[in-house]
Structure 1
Amino acid sequence: MNGKLRTLATAAALALAATGLLPATHAGAGPARCPTLKISDGWYGDNEARIEALLADHCGDRGGRKPVAVFDWDNTVVKNDVGDATFSWLLRHDRIRPPEDGDWSTTSRHLTPEAATALGEACPTGVRTLPTATDTRCADELLSVYANGATTAGETAFAGHDHRRTEPQYAWLAQLLHGWTTRQAASFAAAARAENLAAPQGATQRVGTAQVTGWVRYYDQQRDLIRALRDGGFDVWIVSASPEPVVDVWAQGAGVDPTHAIGIRNTTDHGRLTSHLKGCGTVRDGEDTMITYIDGKRCWINQEIFGVRGPAAERVQPADRRQVFAAGDSDTDVSLLRDATGLRLVLNRNKNELMCRAYENGDGRWLVNPMFIEPKKRKTAPYPCATTGYTASDGTAQPVRRPDGSIVPDQPDTVF
């Protein structure tokens, strides 16, 4: 909304408030009570206006629990991936410890024998930290397993997991922080953050023999939105599939306290991170089978934000125990977004299941927006919603279905 229209809207609100047709909190409270977005550039269609309407609807002290807003992090609040940035930094600075007994299968219960063998052959043993800054063979193998989910020879690196609850590649980064303290892991993330924010947009960096992305940027629009939500009385959280010490460091730059950032959580032993992970719902600590990923995000939100414990944390909660607003960019965020009762902001990265649900917009609460930096070009073919848009727990591709079981038809890409 431009300045003139916003002034007119404010005047109209004041007039309505004087007649008693509009609550005074909407008209007279000022920006601190009913905030608006300060950055209009980059918002598509009426997305800005609808977000401001949500802010107006919830502003002011209404008593009871604050409305909750939940954001994914990578490519939602920032451009590019802070987990990837941290992993690259670890390799370039010799900060990954080998497994104590040389058995790489101990770093992930989902690592295949082929991957464990490849890592054992590529990386040295008997060292405190792996010399990946100079040992390109070891660095290349680690990078391939993490980034591609396959060995450098093309063999599958991870298997045997529930594809709606965990992504072993993401979890492996947290597990490779074993042996360090949380504070040390955060210091690595801070160093990677400084490098990636200072690098020019489009920069790359060499890791092993590969050139990988070497820059990250906060989306100004998302920092502005988080500011407006907090000023409007929302309880704002970050829920990410990057390691929690990493997310904690980055979240502060968007105005979110680390106590409100949820990422992959390691168990600890004598103050040091282990290769095992905290559990949620029916998954116990050390079982390593559920992280903040698709349905795992629902569990962690229910458990950590709304205090729901045990099996119930894995289920959709009543509307008054769910987030009002959510934002995401990927299929990993589908459950986080679907559970939101007010608005669901989707940054279009051409992800099949997410865009199928967002474009169908069955209840009118989905907002689709191009990425704020380097938006994707239009996807020429429709999203394959009716055939292969959904990834089932066993990894098979299936149709995307509505809550009643009916199939979502293919959707064209219209916001880019």
Structure 2
Amino acid sequence: MRNMSIPAALSLAAAATVVAVVPATADSAAPAGASVTSSAPCPQLSRDLTWYGDNRARLQQVIDERGRCGKPGPDGRPVAAFDWDNTVVKNDTTDATLAWALQHDKILRPKSWSATSKWLTPAADRALTEACGTSVPVGAPLRTSTDTRCADEIFEIRSTAKTMDGEEAFAGRWNHRRTVPEYAWVPQLFAGHTPDRLTSFARQARAEFLAAPVGSKRTVGTHTIPGYLRYYPQQKDLIRTLRKAGFDVYIVSAGAEPITDAWAGGVGIDRDHTIAIRSVLRKGRITTGTQGCGDVPAGQGEAIPYIDGKRCMINQEIFGIKGAAAWKRQDAAHRIVVGGGDANTDVTFVGDATGAHLVLNRNKDEFMCRGYDDADGRWLVNPMFIEPMPRKKTPYPCSTAGYNNPDGSMGPVLRQDGSVVPDQQDVASGS
């Protein structure tokens, strides 16, 4: 279910309506030219692209075992799902789009900064008001291309959840495995624009960041950020191969959906297979409201595709699981086969995969604890394909403080049987 009007959002909250996947036929699941009446070899991952260790061979084994590959099979294709930023592409498309928007005066002044997020603190409201001023009419573009203070304050709050003076930008109560306010704040910043307009911003940012040299930087206000993005060739090849093998492949991102839409086509993923933060619309324009998931109604970002929220969205939007059950791990027939991510926000849905859990190493504690513990023998840890992270010199604190509890406190990472994951050493890294 894509962006919706406010009345439709209220209907969703009342009825917990979900979108079910239409089962694929044998003909539609087969790669071009393959017969559906006899077994055909599965398409092969490129041997010209470098993977860590035996990861390519192990992914190929899952494709061979679980792909349709021209064979008749039960209704419904096997499903693969991937995070987007730093999983399919190097660097962050949301940050790139926000940076571009700030440099081109595309943020519209809200009537009240505190109304942009239910968790925004008075300190953040004051900082934004003082930095961005009140001379620009409400609903008109802020002059962030020349107003360094305003651009700095917005980007700092998005990046660190703090003001430029170091004060907390968000406060209150939220489920830390279902949302994070600074992520939800990005689409809220674009309130007043249409989704297509935001997608157009992302496309313009995409062109600039893809053209920039690897390793280049960009300045936003006084912030220095990565100035380039690249699709990972290995991930493009993996997604292409999975699709040819009869998999339904989805992107599940904690970014704003119109931004992810602008990028996903580059790896052959259409809008119907792109899941990200979905705004509630009013008269076709983005509001500060966001769609919910499961038994969590539409609100101001209480449930976004973040940690357990990614599982909920996959269960709801792909497998048609309704209500509170969408937050629960499902039986194997209603789970993805291949999952891939790079950060703690991906740990739950990637862990749900029944065939392979692909981890791009960005030194994120909970995710790396799961990956290196390899409890079911299906976890594949791989350094980032471009500018990999250096090896973490100290162990990941899996046994004490690797798990992000719903209240925001940290605790031990537990296996499915309740046993504690021991601290893990970093191995699959750049150096």
Residue of structure 2 in register with 1:314 after alignment = 327
Give the match's secondary structure for 1:280. coil
Deviation at 1:74, TM superposition (A): 0.5
For each residue in 1:245-279, what CA deviation from the matched residue of structure 2 results, as whole angstroms up to 9, or x when unmatched?
A: 01111000011112101010000000101011011
Tell me, yes or no, if structure 1 residue 75 matches structure 2 residue 83.
Answer: no
Residue of structure 1 in register with 2:254 after alignment = 241
Tell me, yes or no, if structure 1 residue 54 matches structure 2 residue 62.
Answer: yes
Deviation at 1:92, TM superposition (A): 0.4
Deviation at 1:237, TM superposition (A): 0.2
Tell me, yes or no, if structure 1 residue 394 matches structure 2 residue 407.
Answer: yes
Residue of structure 2 in register with 1:12 after alignment = none
Deviation at 1:308, TM superposition (A): 1.1
Residue of structure 2 in register with 1:11 after alignment = none
Q: Which has the higher contact order (CA 8 A, sep 6+)?
A: 2
Q: 1:142-221 maps to which residues of 2 (within 5 A)?
A: 142-160=154-172, 161-221=174-234
Tell me, yes or no, if structure 1 residue 36 matches structure 2 residue 44.
Answer: yes
Deviation at 1:124, TM superposition (A): 2.3
Q: In terms of Rg, which structure is larger?
A: 1
Cα distance in 1 for partners of 2:326, 2:92 equals: 27
Residue of structure 2 in register with 1:105 after alignment = 114
Alignment-mate amino acid for residue 36 of structure 1: Q
Q: Is the 8 A contact 1:81 1:216 kept in 2?
A: yes
- After superposition, the Cα gap between the structure-2 partners of 1:281 and 1:28, relative to the gap in structure 1 and judged at 3 Å, is closer
| Aligned residues between the structures | 388
Tell me, yes or no, if structure 1 residue 376 matches structure 2 residue 389.
Answer: yes
Deviation at 1:393, TM superposition (A): 1.2
Q: Is the 8 A contact 2:181 2:301 kept in 1?
A: no
- Which stretch of structure 1 is more off in the superposition, 214-223 or 160-169? 160-169
Of the three residues 95, 112, 126, the one matched with 1:117 is 126
Give the match's secondary structure for 2:255. strand
Q: Is the 8 A contact 1:107 1:172 kept in 2?
A: yes
Tell me, yes or no, if structure 1 residue 65 matches structure 2 residue 89.
Answer: no
How high is the sequence identity, in percent, across the aligned residues? 54
For each residue in 1:144-197, what CA deviation from the matched residue of structure 2 results, as whole angstroms up to 9, or x when unmatched?
A: 111111000100111222211111111111111100011101100000100100
Alignment-mate amino acid for residue 38 of structure 1: S
Q: Is the 8 A contact 2:250 2:274 kept in 1?
A: yes
Alignment-mate amino acid for residue 149 of structure 1: A
Q: Is the 8 A contact 1:249 1:258 kept in 2?
A: no
Cα distance in 2 for partners of 1:167, 1:312 equals: 22
For each residue in 1:380-406, what CA deviation from the matched residue of structure 2 results, as whole angstroms up to 9, or x when unmatched?
A: 111110111111111112111112322
- After superposition, the Cα gap between the structure-2 partners of 1:225 and 1:64, relative to the gap in structure 1 and judged at 3 Å, is same
For each residue in 1:296-333, what CA deviation from the matched residue of structure 2 results, as whole angstroms up to 9, or x when unmatched?
A: 00111111111111111111111100101100110000
Unaligned runs of 5+ in 2: 1-34
CA RMSD of aligned residues (A): 1.5
Unaligned runs of 5+ in 1: 1-23
Alignment-mate amino acid for residue 74 of structure 1: D
Alignment-mate amino acid for residue 101 of structure 2: L
Give the match's secondary structure for 2:62. helix
Cα distance in 1 for partners of 2:93, 2:248 equals: 23
- Which stretch of structure 1 is more off in the superposition, 232-241 or 381-390? 381-390
For each residue in 1:320-351, what CA deviation from the matched residue of structure 2 results, as whole angstroms up to 9, or x when unmatched?
A: 00101100110000111111111111111111
Cα distance in 2 for partners of 1:122, 1:397 equals: 34
Cα distance in 2 for partners of 1:213, 1:26 equals: 50
Residue of structure 2 in register with 1:335 after alignment = 348
Cα distance in 1 for partners of 2:129, 2:373 equals: 47
- Which stretch of structure 1 is more off in the superposition, 77-86 or 306-315? 306-315
Q: Is the 8 A contact 1:124 1:130 kept in 2?
A: no
For each residue in 1:68-92, what CA deviation from the matched residue of structure 2 results, as whole angstroms up to 9, or x when unmatched?
A: 0000000000000000101101100
Deviation at 1:98, TM superposition (A): 1.5
Alignment-mate amino acid for residue 321 of structure 1: H
Cα distance in 2 for partners of 1:172, 1:211 equals: 21
Of the three residues 295, 298, 308, the one matched with 1:285 is 298
Deviation at 1:28, TM superposition (A): 6.3
Cα distance in 1 for partners of 2:75, 2:36 equals: 17
Alignment-mate amino acid for residue 62 of structure 1: G
Q: Is the 8 A contact 1:26 1:56 kept in 2?
A: no
Cα distance in 2 for partners of 1:393, 1:345 equals: 24
Q: Is the 8 A contact 2:79 2:338 kept in 1?
A: yes
Cα distance in 2 for partners of 1:37, 1:99 equals: 48
For each residue in 1:28-81, what CA deviation from the matched residue of structure 2 results, as whole angstroms up to 9, or x when unmatched?
A: 624xxx101014432111111111111111233313110000000000000000
Tell me, yes or no, if structure 1 residue 137 matches structure 2 residue 149.
Answer: yes
Residue of structure 2 in register with 1:347 after alignment = 360
Q: Is the 8 A contact 2:251 2:274 kept in 1?
A: yes
